[in-house]
Chain A
């Protein structure tokens, strides 16, 4: 049985929404503290519970994740555990040396040089000065700052500051480390470096508490996850179990938003001629209960997309169906074009059914944007987020490698594109 390093029991914290009242409560809490009383555990006017009845334990060699939407209380929990803020009820006991990495480069002064700031940051983090002076070259090397190390850090890019801060933070030697999304900043190369460093840290039989709303980060390093929802523990357990429930929940949220917004959002309005308009769209099958969104396993390689068009005038023309696969944040992942021709009369309804080959995707939410592009850069129509596709998380039985192997045996190619298109008329 591994040693318990961190234990949180029945933790609760209340906050006040109103600034003036909050300051007033602050002074009165201080007075209570000075006469040896604890703060009231009843809610006063305009107060609310930011955290309620949270319990957790963290053992040596374990990596515990905390996920939840913005405002779920993740950062508040971290602040209480790190001792910055007192809990209203409950208690936190910490065995061993703990470091909170809530911000990289704490104490940096913009006027001073990188070298001077390394020493300041190390001091603030409680790293021995002698130790850090010995490791100075190593830190500068790791941060990849180069000659800029003797320039004031106000001339640094934000990425450089983060790298410098991280290089220093690596030299702390705590038993428990609390990390609050600091890894989310910086470019891909830095993130990989940071991840590697974390894995090495865990290998040394330490403990990590990792707070994030980014599922990918949580999935890749944690063993166990606690899902916070408006200050309460919604679910706790093995990463894959909690992650899939969390994802399911966000999908539901998205769908609720979708169902409120069944109409199409058109982009590039200025270029749309509207001679052929998208009337309705289905994913998978015509009576898909989820409408325009679908949740698939990561090893599913093909999707069926159906689009009905309405003709506004007589047409005899060639055009291109263009599909863009993007993340929900709007970053493009891939695109695909297929040529088509129409010969229709005004008022006709036209159906296209396409089989789309999906690239291997990590669990998460993606969208498809669609444009019907005419020759000469004008468009019949252009719809943003016409379909949303959610990739279910991996599980113990369905690991990343297993899924990829599955895809291979299905003869999947690693590309994105329409592999088959059928022309149909809905009335047929």
Chain B
């Protein structure tokens, strides 16, 4: 067996070894990641009186807010051919898949501080655990969507077979942002404090509760907003069966993939340095 060496030398200097270790760790952490996710999910819902209801109450509440705003003519929804509540709820569920992915990695890392400072386990397990938890929440919300579609008697189009690609891209993009804020978030609490505000702002900049305006500043922003591209694409695939945003969606997905690889390296570099600062 090859000896393990710990010394003060950047692991970037040996890229081959680094990649080998990364893949080795990712493969080895799958059980631990799953176990930690199951632990957190069980503990979360076991101590809540409403239990699993908390997985779909937030999207319902947000949808209601948007429905009221739209009803009062405060939001434009031109060109929307399906009932507005369904349209918004689909957008919100997609958005929350993204936003939960942003929050989850830092949340799991911060919740595991004492574990991190005492045991050397593959740090990737925490991100795997975050992904599993986000997916679990999303699957529950899917049941909610089934129910809503059935209620209005609407059938999604054939385009839905491409939807998993969009979902994967949304998840990956969220996790990428989430992993990128971990190195700062473990040192400074400011990240946690500002996260919900920033996400709220981003949600309003993304056409979640409204259709994309045909001109103006918001139109410019949406063109370059990756979340807008993904959500737009997902929505169109469900309701119209084809989307102009399909190719841009693939582009976003590809860039996100490269980004994740870099984010992963950054994430790994963070731990030995961060652990000595929050260890007791």
* Interface residues, chain A, with chain B CB atoms under 8 Å away: 15, 22-23, 26-27, 29-30, 32-39, 41, 79-98, 100, 102-103, 106-107, 109, 111-112, 116, 119-120, 123-126, 129
New A-B pairs, 4, CB < 8 Å, besides A15-B276, A26-B187, A97-B1: A23-B277, A34-B265, A79-B279, A112-B46
CB-contacts of B263-280 with A (<8 A): 265-266, 269-270, 272-277, 279
Of all chain B residues, the one with the shortest Cβ separation from A90 is B7
Note all chain B residues with C-beta closer than 8 A to A80. Answer: 6
Note all chain A residues with C-beta closer than 8 A to B11. Answer: 33
Q: Are B31 and A112 in contact (CB under 8 A)?
A: no
Q: Are A79 and B5 in contact (CB under 8 A)?
A: no
Option from B8, B115, B270 in Cβ contact (under 8 Å) with A106 = B115
Q: Are A34 and B269 in contact (CB under 8 A)?
A: yes
Assembled-state Cα–Cα distance A93/B5 (Å): 4
Note all chain A residues with C-beta closer than 8 A to B35. Answer: 119-120, 123-124, 129
Of all chain B residues, the one with the shortest Cβ separation from A89 is B8
Task: Tell me how far the C-beta of B108 lies from the nearest C-beta in chain A, rounded to whole angstroms.
Answer: 12
Note all chain B residues with C-beta closer than 8 A to A87. Answer: 6-8
Task: Tell me how far the C-beta of A8 lies from the nearest C-beta in chain B, rounded to whole angstroms.
Answer: 9
Note all chain B residues with C-beta closer than 8 A to A84. Answer: 116-120, 272, 275-276, 279
CB-contacts of B229-280 with A (<8 A): 265-266, 269-270, 272-277, 279
Note all chain B residues with C-beta closer than 8 A to A30. Answer: 183, 269-270, 273
Option from A15, A35, A103, A112 in Cβ contact (under 8 Å) with B43 = A112
Interface status of B161 (Cβ within 8 A of chain A): no
Task: Tell me how far the C-beta of A122 lies from the nearest C-beta in chain B, rounded to whole angstroms.
Answer: 9
Assembled-state Cα–Cα distance A90/B272 (Å): 16
Interface status of B17 (Cβ within 8 A of chain A): no
Of all chain A residues, the one with the shortest Cβ separation from B276 is A85
List the 6 shortest-distance A-B pairs measured between CB atoms, nearest first.
A91-B7, A111-B43, A123-B35, A92-B6, A85-B276, A86-B272
Interface status of B214 (Cβ within 8 A of chain A): no
Q: Are B276 and A79 in contact (CB under 8 A)?
A: yes
Assembled-state Cα–Cα distance A26/B274 (Å): 7
Interface status of B10 (Cβ within 8 A of chain A): yes
Note all chain A residues with C-beta closer than 8 A to B270. Answer: 30
* Interface residues, chain B, with chain A CB atoms under 8 Å away: 1, 3-13, 31-32, 35-36, 39-40, 42-43, 46-47, 114-121, 183-184, 187-188, 265-266, 269-270, 272-277, 279
Of all chain B residues, the one with the shortest Cβ separation from A28 is B273
Task: Tell me how far the C-beta of B223 lies from the nearest C-beta in chain A, rounded to whole angstroms.
Answer: 32
Note all chain B residues with C-beta closer than 8 A to A96. Answer: 1
Whether A120 contacts B5 in the complex (CB less than 8 A), given A34-B12, A37-B10, A106-B119, comes out as no
Q: Are A112 and B279 in contact (CB under 8 A)?
A: no
Note all chain B residues with C-beta closer than 8 A to A119. Answer: 35
Option from B36, B116, B184, B265 in Cβ contact (under 8 Å) with A120 = B36
Assembled-state Cα–Cα distance A230/B219 (Å): 63
Of all chain B residues, the one with the shortest Cβ separation from A97 is B1
Assembled-state Cα–Cα distance A33/B183 (Å): 12
Note all chain B residues with C-beta closer than 8 A to A90. Answer: 7-8
Q: Are A93 and B4 in contact (CB under 8 A)?
A: yes
Q: Are B273 and A33 in contact (CB under 8 A)?
A: yes
Task: Tell me how far the C-beta of B271 lies from the nearest C-beta in chain A, rounded to whole angstroms.
Answer: 8
Whether A107 contacts B275 in the complex (CB less than 8 A), given A87-B8, A92-B7, A120-B36, comes out as no
Note all chain A residues with C-beta closer than 8 A to B277. Answer: 22-23, 26
Task: Tell me how far the C-beta of A85 lies from the nearest C-beta in chain B, rounded to whole angstroms.
Answer: 4
Assembled-state Cα–Cα distance A91/B6 (Å): 6
